[in-house]
Amino acid sequence: MDTRFNLFENEFGGRFAKRFAGAGMLVHQSALPPSTQELVSLRASQINGCGHCIDMHVKEAAAAGESAVRLHLVAAWRESTVFTEAEQAALALAEEGTRLADAHEGVSDQTWELVRKHYDDDQVAALVCLVALINAANRLAVITHQKGGSYEAGMFAAAVG
């Protein structure tokens, strides 16, 4: 399927994208570890079937030194030994926050307690905002049929300036 619509070429879409990207950069500059940010973004994008965002976050994570083993195993993180307890808590929050329609309780108290155990208030705020932003980004890209494959590491930061 071809791309349906380029938000960046539309006046309103471009203004929205600039503000959206600014929110993303704020999260990116937060105290939440960059590797955790990429793993969370990758997992939510996998759940939402967003090829564009999967492409972006795999390449950004790899460029930042993330191992191929961890990137390959993020889809099965519960069945893996390569993620820290803190990363597991963040991935659980990402999944439960992404699958709101599938989970009658949303984010469980157990997951929330694990997140609070491993992250301070600023990191929790960044993590919650990241989960919301990546889900919104996934929806924008899936709705407009943005495809994965052409992203190069650093493109997002260069576009935001």
Domain layout of the chain by residue ranges: 32-151
The pLDDT assigned to 145 comes to 92
44 closest CA partner among 97, 5, 84 = 97
Q: For residue 161, what pLDDT band results from cuts at 50, 70 and 90?
A: low
Average pLDDT of the residues in 123-139? 98
Q: How far apart are CA 4 and CA 144, in angstroms?
A: 5
Q: How far apart are CA 144 and CA 32, in angstroms?
A: 30
Residue 105 has pLDDT above 70, yes or no: yes
Q: How far apart are CA 84 and CA 119, in angstroms?
A: 13
Superfamily of chain region 32-151: AhpD-like (1.20.1290.10)
